[in-house]
Amino acid sequence: MQLNKYLRYIILGGIFLIPFIPLVISSSLFFPYITGKGFAFRIIVEIISALWLILAIRSTIYRPRISLLLKFFALFVALIALSDILSPNALKSFWSNFERMEGWVTLIHLFAYFVVSGTMLSTEKLWKYFFQTSVAVSLLVGGYGVLQLMGKAVINQGGVRLDSTFGNASYLGAYFLFHIFITGFLLLGERLNRRKQYIYGAIILFQLFILYNTATRGAVLALGVGLFTMLVLVALFEKENKTLRKISFYALGSLCVIGLILVGLHFSPLAGKSKALERLTTIKLDDLQTRFSIWNIGWQGVKEKPFFGWGQESFNYVFNKYYKPSLFGQEQWFDRTHNIVFDWLVAGGIFGFLSFVSIFIVALYYLWHHKSPPWFQRGFLKKLHDLLRPGTVIPFSPARSAVLTGFFAAYLVHNLFVFDNIGSYIIMVSVLAYLHALHSTSLSDKWEKRLNIDEGLQNRLIIPIIVVSFVFIIYFASIKPILAGHTLIKAFGQYGADKGGPAENLRYFNKALSYNSFFGRSEIREQITQAANQVISSNVDISLKQSFYDLVRSEMTKQLKETPNDARYYVFFGSFLNRVGAYDEALLYLSKGLELSPNKQSIMFEVGSSYINQKKYKEALDIFKKAYELDTNFWQAKVLYVAALIYNKETDLVKKLTKEMYGRELVYEDVFIRAYSDLDQYGTVLALLKEREKGNPDDPELQISLAATYLKLGERTNAVKAVEKAIMLRPSFKEQGEYYIREIKAGRNP
């Protein structure tokens, strides 16, 4: 009994640590605002789950209780597991990566947290303490935001939008959006304590202040919808507290007025006096079009795999396949639809999505079942009612039910524009676990008998197996990925001659790979490739460059075997090969990437660049023309198309397009300069550089380019003058510049 007591206290301590996770920032890990929180959550859940299993075996009091909510949550987890198994990248669907920290691993941890907290927080009083703890932590998170507002702490994303310990204003907005309803729920539970009501009221005002300063439009809209839902329900169903009902009518009117004011401010210059208000009242048409385009891409994916979907973390396959050229100005590798409906439809198909929705339908039923009308308790509907009816009925007051209904409404609306993160997941699952705890029944006698295990067998076999299994899980699911992420950060930090240089950088990259963690392995390979691009273009020993090259080739080859249908890695590897001059091989990988994402102009640019480097100008023109014609509003595509025309000596068309684009025929663009230089048309290059000089007379780099062009044209005197001007504009260039001058005067071309 004493051991059970200690186990209970440790488990409860772990559960009460969960609300503090939003405070975690781990600067020693890759994506410090994401991974620190994610790994902390996983490790805590793994520990308390193991201890709870031991406690549940030892004592019938702590065995899981059954509810319809638990059954549907378990069904959802199982169906998503099936979708992940069928995923085009099952490893990523299961493990996720450093940037997102989701996947089925996080989902099963959330379910374990749901079961453990729903069992161990067995009284209303414990849940009250838990939610009070979460609200208290929100004050700490908000306090850090105030420091950012005062300029005492850096806003991680830049600008004026508070992001506090989340490093992302949208995540912070969601966190405070949900806590406003949690605090309101606690406030309505203190009907006899005026002092606590005032305290909670003050906290809500502070939370609203922080939410406003995140300038998150989706969160503010969700707050409005959530409050509207809550107030309507209070007005309809709150019969006992007439004062509260009357307040709800006034609040509904005030909410409508505030909404109209915000709409009106969209057309008023007053909004410009506050950056947060300006953003909240401004909706760009381009942003809406982008969202609709992404959702449409998601819908194409749903139509292709309607029943079980693509698995978690697999939207990138859908995005690449159905990419719309009009998205040229956006992120080129979207991995989310930014819409909870399409996210789960894509990940789990219709079955996964419906099981997800069913969780919330049951939760709402638990909130309102005591208000079901008489006609719902006759005939077939009565049988359905009996099936759904919780065993232990603990009804809320209509007002408190309305608050949590508003919470769910706000969650849905907010996630129509963004996706969940560990902070929002924890709050949502905590509320679901609370409802489960209050509306659940004990295990059947049959199951109780099955779980009654001889004490000797428990101590000699069952408990040791649990301990060893969870040590194994903690090591592979958390410790190895943490070590890999920590080493990856070290690889970044070691770059530079004063810290060991690229050789040390390479050593840490190899060490990060040596952990052989399924989690984040692709990200490590991407970072190696980017680092290799820097090293190969720098002045380091040739053997070190070769080592980086060999490592990239080896790891990207492995990556392509693991993800043979992901365009991203073909493009990464093909672009790397382009930069090291392996143009033929680069084309093989880039062409495969283009096959997997046939409408993405950025891939076409890489293919065209490879053709240019091989002097296959006709092929380059064909691909650049295709990229341009996919969306003629894409400026870069038009510029590269003109450059390809220059290479193919389509002079008349070049003049026509530059006239349309710039209003004149002679235009300076780096790619135009390179094209004319490659064609030895140095007279045109000189004219372009001089045109550029008119607007940039103090650019030393431009003077060096002029000097090189004069040399190509045999105008040595002008070349010397250009170098002298470069020295004057940049004194640090004096020693090298004087060397150039001596060489030029000696008749040599430096």
Q: Name the residue type at position 224.
A: G
* Predicted pLDDT of residue 380: 58
* Predicted pLDDT of residue 497: 43
Report how far residue 425's alpha carbon sits from residue 106's, in angstroms, rounded to the nearest whole number. Answer: 10
φ and ψ at 66, to 5 degrees? -105, 140
What DSSP line would sit under 652-685, residue for residue? HHHHHHHHHHHSSS----HHHHHHHHHTT-HHHH
| Mean pLDDT by groups of 10 residues along the chain of 750 residues | 90 97 92 93 96 90 90 96 96 92 95 96 94 97 94 84 92 96 94 89 96 90 94 88 85 85 69 68 75 93 96 95 91 89 96 96 86 56 56 69 96 91 95 92 65 72 88 91 91 61 89 87 92 87 92 95 95 94 94 96 95 94 95 93 94 90 84 91 90 86 90 89 90 88 84
- Give Dmax over CA atoms of the chain in angstroms: 106
* Predicted pLDDT of residue 445: 57
CA 128 to chain centre: 32
Backbone region of residue 582 per phi and psi (left: phi > 0; alpha: psi in -120 to 50; beta: other values): beta
- Domains of the chain, by residue range, sit at 2-451
pTM of the model: 0.90
Residue owning tokens 């969960």: 18
Closest CA to 549 of 509, 608, 500, 518: 509
Query: Under 8 Å CB-to-CB from 539, ≥6 apart: which residues?
Result: none
* Tokens matching residue 322: 């159905």
Three-state SS for 267?
coil
Angle, CA 277 vertex, CA 272 and CA 282 arms, to 5°: 80
What DSSP line would sit under 513-529, residue for residue? HHT--STTHHHHHHHHH
**Eight-state DSSP code of residue 475:** I
Report how far residue 205's alpha carbon sits from residue 29's, in angstroms, rounded to the nearest whole number. Answer: 35
SS3 for 42-73 is HHHHHHHHHHHHHHHHHCHHHCCCECHHHHHH
* Predicted pLDDT of residue 498: 47
Beta bridge partners of 66: 441
Report how far residue 14's alpha carbon sits from residue 236's, in angstroms, rounded to the nearest whole number. Answer: 40
Report how far residue 46's alpha carbon sits from residue 116's, in angstroms, rounded to the nearest whole number. Answer: 11
Task: Note the helical H segments in 415-493.
Answer: 422-438, 445-451, 455-457, 463-474, 480-493
Report how far residue 116's alpha carbon sits from residue 437's, in angstroms, rounded to the nearest whole number. Answer: 10
Report how far residue 347's alpha carbon sits from residue 342's, in angstroms, rounded to the nearest whole number. Answer: 8
3-state percent helix, strand, coil for the chain, nearest multiple of 5:
75, 0, 25
Contact indicator for 715, 705 with CB cutoff of 8 Å? no
End-to-end CA distance of the chain: 87
Report how far residue 455's alpha carbon sits from residue 57's, in angstroms, rounded to the nearest whole number. Answer: 9
Query: Under 8 Å CB-to-CB from 174, ≥6 apart: which residues?
Result: 216, 219, 414, 418, 421, 423, 424
Angle, CA 49 vertex, CA 466 and CA 437 arms, to 5°: 135
What is the H or E stretch that residue 685 is in? helix 682-695
Report how far residue 725's alpha carbon sits from residue 728's, in angstroms, rounded to the nearest whole number. Answer: 5
